[in-house]
Every structure is written in C-alpha cells, then in structure tokens.
A and B are shown apart, each in its own frame.
Chain A
Amino acid sequence: MLRILMCAITIALTSTALQAADLEAGKKLFANNCAQCHGPKAQGMASFPSLAGRDASYIQSRLETYRAGERVGANSGLMIPNARNLSDEDIANLSGFISQIGK
C-alpha cells in the first residue's frame, strides 16, 4: 500500500518536473556544460557514458545523486563537480531536454 502510494508520488513529481521543463534552457545548459564530455548528441564519448535513450526520471535521479556528492560508477569523481551547482530547475530542464534528444 505504502509502496503504491510512494510510486504515485514519484510519478506525480516527475510529471510536474517534466511539464515544467524549459527545453530551450535545458538545451543551452547541456551545450555549455555537458556536451564536451557526453557528446553533442549525448551519444557518449571516451570515459563519458551515453545518456541517449534515458528517460527524464532516470537522468533526474542520477543528477540528484551526483549533486549530493554520492558515487555511482568508477568515474563519479568526474561527474560530481558538474552536478554540484545545479538547481532543481536546472536538473528538470536538463532531464527534460536530454530525454528527448534524437526523438
């Protein structure tokens, strides 16, 4: 019961975030701060993972994890500083933009 409720809340939050996402702002942020590692089409390059095909809630939760300084994979040290100064709004805009690249 509790789990179902939590789920519903997550979905509700995510969809609000999505609706609120300013894709143009997300695009700009991505081009200036992320593309040099993840690639102009988020296709991934060198040690930097592809973000293509990830949905917005996945990207959002990862960015929140890195922002909190928590490690995920072997190269988190490279990603954490890039998330540290992102606002909730930045994260929503980035997640919204990245999740629709190539769609």
Chain B
Amino acid sequence: MMKKSSYIRYVSAVAASSVLLGLPMSLQAQPAQINQTVFMDGLDKPWDIAFLSDGTMFVTEKCKGLSVRLPDGTVNNLLGMGGTEGYSMTADDLFCHGQAGMNGVALDPDFDSNRTVFVYSASRMGDDPATNRVLRLTVSDDFSSVSDRTDIVENIPYKQAPTDHPFGDAGAHNGGRIRFNPGDGFLYVTTGDNHNSSLPQFGDNLGSKVLRIDRDGKAAPMNADALPDGFDARTYTYGHRNVQGIAFHPKSHQPIITEHGPWHTDEVNALVPGGNSGWDPRPNMAGRGDCPDNYCGYEPNQNDGMDPNERRKYMPMTDYETYPDAMKPLWTNNNYSQGISSAAFLEGEQWGDWNGRLVVSFLGIGFGDTPVGQRINVINLVPEGPEIVDNTEMPLSAGPARFRGLVMGPDGSLYVATDEGQIHRFTAE
C-alpha cells in the first residue's frame, strides 16, 4: 500500500501537471516521481540482465561475455568469449559480429539449489558454420567462477555473410532473449530470420521462432500438439522477423514479445501455442517480384525513405492475406519501426497505477524522416486478456539512450541496459 503522505503528494503532482500540461487523465496515472539514474557505467555493449532476489546481478556484454555484480558492488567476470582475458572460464568458440554475440541471460528458477545460469551466444566450432547456442553453466558458491558448460541448444541459425540489405552485415536478425516463464517453468528462447526468407514459415529450422524448452534443451511436451506437421518440436511460435523481447503477463503468464519491424510496424504480440506471426519475406509471392538476395524484408524501397504505410502494403509485418489465422499484434507502434528491443512488466505498489503494466524499450532509429523515438513505453493491458487500454511513456529524467534490455530488479526498480555502455535504474516513489 502506498502511504498516505505519498498518496497526497501523488495526487497533487497529478493535479499540478494536469493544469500545466492539460493532458487527459489516462496519461497521468503514474507515480509521483520516477528517477532515472546511472547504476553501472563503462560496460561494453551490455545486452541483458538477470537478478537474484538479494540483488546479485548477472550481466552479458555482447563482445566480452558474462559477469556478475554482487550486492556489495564487486564484479566477477565469469564466462569470457574468444579473445577476452580475466574471466574464470574462456570459451574460444564464442564470438561477436554485428548484432550477434553474447545476448540473453536467464537464471534457473531453482538457482538457490542448482546454481544454474543460461546464456545465448554466437559460437563457431572448428570449421563448422557458426550458430547460436544456449549454454547452461553452474555458478560456484562464491560467485567467482562457472563450470560444467553444457550446450542445450546448438543449432539456432546465425547469418553467415553480408547481403544487400540495410543492416546487411553478417550476424543480423539474431534474436537472443531468453526467459523462464513462471507459469509453466519452461525456458523461452527468441530467434531471428537472419535476412533469410527460407526460415520464418518453415519448421525445419529454429530461426524466426520462439522456442519453449526445458533446462536440458528438450522440447516442452505440449509444443507438438499445437504445431503444424513436421515442425521442430522445440518450436512454440513461428513466422517472426526478429524477436528481442519477451515477458510474461503477471496474471495469465501469457508470453508477450516485441518484434522488430522492417522500416515500419514494430510489433507487440501476445503468443499462443503454435501461433504464426505472419512474417514471410519470400520473393515472387503475395504480389512481389524478385528481391535483393532473395529477401523482400525491406522492400519495395530498401535504401530510401518512404511512407511506412506504403511499405506495409507491399511487405506486411503480419500477412493476413496469405495467413488468415496469423496472430494479431496487440500494438504496431503507429506503423513505425524504431528498434523495439525488450519487454518487462512493472511490479510493486510504488509504481502506483503503473503496477503490472508492460514496459517496452526502443533503441531508436529514424529513416527517411521517420521519428527516431528513443524511449520506454508503458502499456496498460486489460487483465483478462491481451488488449491495450492505455499507452504512455516513461519520463526520462536523465535523458534518452539506445535502450537494449529491460528487467525488474528485486528492489522494485526497473533496470535497463543501454548500447552506450550503461545500466540505468528507474525508481518510483
């Protein structure tokens, strides 16, 4: 419960701001004050964060590896990628290129008893083509080292070579967020399409999917019931473009994802088992002709500015005409693509009316006069089901950044990794 004095403060702040700004009431149902501070600095492309209940914080850096920050501020370097020094374990097969590298991190729900951590990373073993893998490791009792590496998923596609597309370098559309669902206890893994049109609608590969697996990497048994014939049973949903965010509704535990759009239409999607997100960038279908390097993902005009609505008609993010049963997005970012990167749910009374709301982050990118949009949105979904009743923005008292990864901390603050190399903390009072 909010204390009475803070409630009064809250009400008067709302009243004051409504006089000053003349905003409709729905935009103002927020805590009295939200402070944005820099919690950690000097990191190298931090990508994801995972907390224990005492504040112990695991962080991935895309080109360095996995570290842990203890509540007293000590940082221990645990798993280093190829070429790094000063890590308790170094794995020479792990590498970064473009959007790929060490991406997501998740802690086992039973961490206290099994000391298990999971990471998603690009890996190149010998002369084999590189892939993305999900690694399972055991953390020592004093948090100074990791051991027992087991690769529980070995074959998530990685983009091998550059192509003629925006962001066309190798390593593109690499997905990479991993989270345990408190509802069913399974690990969810988000992947991307690698600028490869033969991944999204085909079940013989793990690209453009959300996977649902157990701690050994085995398919959740009920996946298969909902999937089309012939699909890899680890698949939960398919037909995605590039999913970098996933969070679970606090009441229903339904997975909610964020999906990067192609110069238009970033999506927030509520997933259903076996669902198709409707992305199919193949050439010579759905009214399209040939496309650069067999991928129509940024057509019809990939190198120049164009009205996002025109783009959408030619290359829809969700193609209902071809896939009438495709999952309908909850929100499409007003048809803009601004680098939608991550999702979490706010938790705690201190957030006032924002308690339980979905937050989604944006890296920010403009193209051909579209707004850049670096921000964090606060979205009110109706409790019974996936529907949006309000959508507003987190105040940024310390300014915008390329917000990459959002996670709730055990202290009730929201922690955000930025491409600038910082972890920001948003605290409500």
Once bound together, how far apart are the Cα atoms of A43 and B421, in whole Å?
10
- 9 closest Cβ contacts across the A-B interface? A45-B419, A74-B162, A74-B169, A77-B303, A77-B166, A74-B168, A36-B372, A46-B419, A36-B364
The minimal Cβ–Cβ distance linking A22 to chain B, given in whole angstroms, is: 24
| Interface flag for A53 (CB, 8 Å) | no
Q: Is the CB–CB distance between B166 and A78 below 8 Å? A: yes
The minimal Cβ–Cβ distance linking A32 to chain B, given in whole angstroms, is: 10
Interface string of A70-85 (1 = CB under 8 A from B): 0001110110110000
Contact residues, A40-73 vs B (CB, 8 A):
40, 43, 45-47, 73
Q: Is the CB–CB distance between A47 and B169 below 8 Å? A: yes
Q: Is the CB–CB distance between A47 and B374 below 8 Å? A: no
Interface residues on A, range: 10 to 19
| Interface flag for B302 (CB, 8 Å) | yes
Q: Is the CB–CB distance between B367 and A46 below 8 Å? A: no
In the bound complex, residues from chain A placing their C-beta under 8 Å from that of B365 are: 36-37
Q: Is the CB–CB distance between A39 and B420 below 8 Å? A: yes
In the bound complex, residues from chain B placing their C-beta under 8 Å from that of A39 are: 419-420
In the bound complex, residues from chain A placing their C-beta under 8 Å from that of B45 are: 45-46
The minimal Cβ–Cβ distance linking A98 to chain B, given in whole angstroms, is: 17
Interface residues on B, range: 20 to 34
Once bound together, how far apart are the Cα atoms of A40 and B374, in whole Å?
13
Once bound together, how far apart are the Cα atoms of A36 and B373, in whole Å?
10
| Interface flag for B98 (CB, 8 Å) | yes
A positions within 8 Å CB-CB of B? 36-37, 39-40, 43, 45-47, 73-75, 77-78, 80-81
- Asked whether A46 and B374 contact (CB < 8 A) given A36-B402, A77-B302, the answer is no
Once bound together, how far apart are the Cα atoms of A43 and B365, in whole Å?
17
Q: Is the CB–CB distance between A46 and B363 below 8 Å? A: yes
In the bound complex, residues from chain A placing their C-beta under 8 Å from that of B402 are: 36, 45-46
- Asked whether A81 and B367 contact (CB < 8 A) given A45-B45, A75-B167, the answer is yes
Q: Knowing that A45-B402, A75-B167 touch, tell me 11 more A-B residue pairs with CB under 8 angstroms.
A: A36-B366, A36-B400, A36-B402, A37-B365, A39-B419, A40-B420, A45-B420, A46-B363, A74-B169, A77-B165, A77-B302
The minimal Cβ–Cβ distance linking B60 to chain A, given in whole angstroms, is: 15
In the bound complex, residues from chain A placing their C-beta under 8 Å from that of B374 are: 36
- Asked whether A80 and B166 contact (CB < 8 A) given A45-B45, A45-B420, the answer is no
| Interface flag for B56 (CB, 8 Å) | no
Cβ 8 A contact of B168, one of A46, A77, A81 = A77
19 A/B residue pairs, CB under 8 Å, sorted by A: A36-B372, A37-B365, A39-B420, A45-B419, A46-B402, A47-B98, A73-B169, A74-B162, A75-B166, A75-B167, A77-B165, A77-B166, A77-B168, A77-B302, A78-B167, A78-B367, A80-B303, A81-B305, A81-B367
Q: Which residue of chain B has its CB nearest to the CB of A69? A: B303
In the bound complex, residues from chain A placing their C-beta under 8 Å from that of B305 are: 81
Q: Which residue of chain B has its CB nearest to the CB of A45? A: B419
- Asked whether A75 and B168 contact (CB < 8 A) given A36-B374, A40-B420, the answer is yes
| Interface flag for B128 (CB, 8 Å) | no
Cβ 8 A contact of B169, one of A37, A43, A75, A81 = A75
Once bound together, how far apart are the Cα atoms of A77 and B372, in whole Å?
16
| Interface flag for B304 (CB, 8 Å) | yes
In the bound complex, residues from chain A placing their C-beta under 8 Å from that of B302 are: 77
The minimal Cβ–Cβ distance linking B103 to chain A, given in whole angstroms, is: 12
In the bound complex, residues from chain A placing their C-beta under 8 Å from that of B33 are: none
- Asked whether A81 and B368 contact (CB < 8 A) given A47-B99, A74-B168, the answer is yes
Q: Which residue of chain A has its CB nearest to the CB of B62? A: A46
In the bound complex, residues from chain A placing their C-beta under 8 Å from that of B166 are: 75, 77-78
Contact residues, B173-214 vs A (CB, 8 A):
none
The minimal Cβ–Cβ distance linking B364 to chain A, given in whole angstroms, is: 5
Q: Which residue of chain A has its CB nearest to the CB of B369? A: A81
Once bound together, how far apart are the Cα atoms of A77 and B365, in whole Å?
13
Once bound together, how far apart are the Cα atoms of A80 and B43, in whole Å?
30
Once bound together, how far apart are the Cα atoms of A37 and B401, in whole Å?
10
Interface string of B385-411 (1 = CB under 8 A from A): 000000000000000101000000000
In the bound complex, residues from chain B placing their C-beta under 8 Å from that of A77 are: 165-166, 168, 302-303
In the bound complex, residues from chain A placing their C-beta under 8 Å from that of B165 are: 77
The minimal Cβ–Cβ distance linking B99 to chain A, given in whole angstroms, is: 7
The minimal Cβ–Cβ distance linking B264 to chain A, given in whole angstroms, is: 15
In the bound complex, residues from chain B placing their C-beta under 8 Å from that of A47 are: 98-99, 167, 169
Once bound together, how far apart are the Cα atoms of A49 and B305, in whole Å?
22
